[in-house]
Amino acid sequence: MNLLILSCGTRNKIIAYFKEALAGRGKVIAADHSPLAPALYEADEAVIIPHIQDKQYLDTLLTLCKEKQIKAIFSLIDPELNLLAKHQHDFLAIDTVPIISDADKVELCFNKYALYEFLTEKQIPTPKSYLNEHQFYQDMEKGKISFPVFVKPYNGSASAQIHKAHSSDEMEDLILNGENMMIQEFMDGIEIGADVYVDLHTGKVVSIFTKEKINMRAGETDKARSFKDEQLFEFIQSVVEETGLKGMLDIDLFKVGDQYLISEINPRFGGGYPHAYGCGVSFPKMLLNNLAGKENRVQIGEYESEIYMAKFNDVMIMPAENLAKEMMVSLSPSETAPSTQT
């Protein structure tokens, strides 16, 4: 059973977890468009592929899946999720399973304002959001919202271009100088992350791991503390099953007073997932069970509370002759430049 992990970048741990779960029953093949992506060298095989914007990208993936007899494929970054979702049938036609939700559900998660509208319609607590200043000022006059607020792209990822605005002038300047910006209510509360697995066969939430975020860095959880709350588990389970998402999910929430609010839902592994794995929550084993035709038992909250995670930096030193050389297409030097994702 061979797996292909796209845009592996610096996510060495994810590669290692799947190798451990497979235990020699197949290969973990890592792909990236930069030979300087460290996670490539954690895998059983490393493959250099075109950038996602290359017009040969999809054909390259399909060719790779056929040649390497790939059982399942998934990506670790947002830009590739839509592509995998839209072309699920192309992969299934060659017996490769894309681990991704349906295209409309992926798009819902990627468009943060659309997600806000969906959650609001379903009466699911979420921070107030606005696409323009007029709506915001109307609610501010009614006392429904006040400064500070967050200003961010409604289609952004990795916390890029997210700014806190303390005044009208500051907010309007950020909107004017940004692209596809939205205004979001500032949540003065506890920031929480949830790693969730939805069984591919039953569509039911079978695992939830929650952590209080202590510190963030570059949009990812840098330090965190595990905790359990049955009220939160029930809330997350009901929200996720309402969306119809499946597979690995990363959910951002806030707790303000006694209320939990959904901020974002990402249909992929989150950057803080190693915390869950370190506490015994193995999404790789759950995924391999599903790929083998087995349903996973419900194991929500089966981990210890008060376990802390702290990330740290490491380096990889590689002689030029050891860089990954296998390339599916011929690329120009500009196309092989390291990505900001790696």
Q: What is the pTM of this model?
A: 0.92
CATH architecture of the domain formed by 2-100+315-322: 3-Layer(aba) Sandwich (3.40)
pLDDT score of 341 more than 80 = no
Write out pLDDT tens, residues 308-327. 999 998 999 988 887 876 55
User: The domain 189-310: what is its CATH number?
Assistant: 3.30.470.20
Domain boundaries, the chain: 2-100+315-322, 128-185, 189-310
- DSSP secondary structure string, 167-206? SHHHHHHHHHTSSSEEEEE---SEEEEEEEEE-TTT--EE
Collapse the DSSP code of 53 into the 3-class scheme (helix H, G, I; strand E, B; otherwise coil) and give the result: coil
Q: Please state, rounded to an integer, the average pLDDT across all residues of the chain.
A: 92
Strand partners, 213: 224
Write out pLDDT tens, residues 109-164. 999 999 999 999 999 999 999 998 999 999 999 999 999 999 999 986 655 678 99
Per-residue pLDDT, 322: 79
Give the residue, 218 or 15, on which the prediction is more confident. Answer: 15
Question: Is it true that 2-100+315-322 and 189-310 share their CATH fold?
Answer: no
Q: Quote the tokens at residue 148.
A: 């500070």
| Residue of 197, 118, 100, 115 whose CA lies nearest to 152 | 115
pLDDT exceeding 70 applies to what percent of the chain? 93
Mean pLDDT of 104-113: 96
294 Cβ neighbours under 8 A, 6+ residues apart: 201
> Class of the 128-185 domain?
alpha beta
pLDDT score of 335 more than 50 = no
Write out pLDDT tens, residues 39-75. 999 999 999 999 999 999 999 999 999 999 999 999 9
pLDDT score of 225 more than 80 = yes
Per-residue pLDDT, 216: 78
pLDDT score of 238 more than 80 = yes
